[in-house]
Amino acid sequence: MFTGIITDIGQVLAVEMRGDMQARISTGYDVAGIDIGASIACDGVCLTVVALGADPQNWFDVQISAETLDKANLGKWASGKRVNLERALKVGDELGGHIVSGHVDGLAEIIAMQDEGDSTRVTLRAPDALAGFIAPKGSVALNGTSLTVNEVNGTDFGINFIPHTKAATTWGDAVVGDMVNLEIDTLARYVARLREWGQ
């Protein structure tokens, strides 16, 4: 489990297809404190560490299945791509965002961006099947970042990036047309399932 609070920005060093996709990501994390098999959210996708190293910089390798590539935007990763990173939640850690599983539900498209003072308002379009799970003042995870929804209009929804978020994550790189990893709020998913079951 994760919180959607990004704690490092990594960079894709290499991508290879070996049956599944394998990627090497540089990190500011101390790799001596990461175990093989540990989970790290990479742009919001929970991935398993399969190798580690520190030459010439700290890095870890992950494998990415066809199912993940189908649901998320990781298939477009290339060397140099900056990636939001978050280590898995430990018992006793502060829950600063919201409960995030790292299981991406689909892709949302950035359709508009507008600066308002130092902040940036962003409008995204969700897939039809996911739009009903997004509510004003609810939470979503976008590329692994816990964000509050400002407003919803059909399949479109708005969020706001303060300067800190743009500096501490990869959101400062975002442009209109980007497809971003969307994870709906876990509570919304279960409420919808309960309503469906009760019908």
**Tens digit of each residue's pLDDT (9 = 90 or more) over 38-69:** 999 999 999 999 999 998 899 999 999 999 99
Pairwise pLDDT comparison (25 vs 56), residue with the higher score: 25
Average pLDDT, the chain: 93
Architecture in CATH for domain 106-198: Beta Barrel (2.40)
For the chain, what percent of residues have pLDDT higher than 70? 97
Measured distance CA(24)–CA(10) in Å, rounded: 10
Cα distance from N-terminal residue to C-terminal residue, the chain: 30
Q: What local confidence, expressed as pLDDT, does residue 141 receive?
A: 96
Is-contact 141 169, C-beta < 8 A? Answer: no
Closest to 24 in 3D by CA, of 69, 61, 71: 61
Assess whether pLDDT exceeds 90 at residue 82. Answer: yes
Is-contact 56 88, C-beta < 8 A? Answer: no
Beta-sheet pairing, 156-161 with 119-125: antiparallel
What are the extents of the domains in the chain? 8-87, 106-198
Assess whether pLDDT exceeds 70 at residue 129. Answer: yes
Assess whether pLDDT exceeds 80 at residue 144. Answer: yes
- Please report, for the chain, how many H helices and E strands are present, in that order: 4, 13
Architecture in CATH for domain 8-87: Beta Barrel (2.40)
Pairwise pLDDT comparison (90 vs 163), residue with the higher score: 163
Q: What local confidence, expressed as pLDDT, does residue 93 receive?
A: 73
Q: What local confidence, expressed as pLDDT, does residue 37 receive?
A: 97
Assess whether pLDDT exceeds 70 at residue 193. Answer: no
Q: For residue 173, what is the DSSP state? A: G
Which single residue is written with the structure tokens 């001596």?
32
Measured distance CA(107)–CA(124) in Å, rounded: 10
Identical fold at 8-87 and 106-198? yes
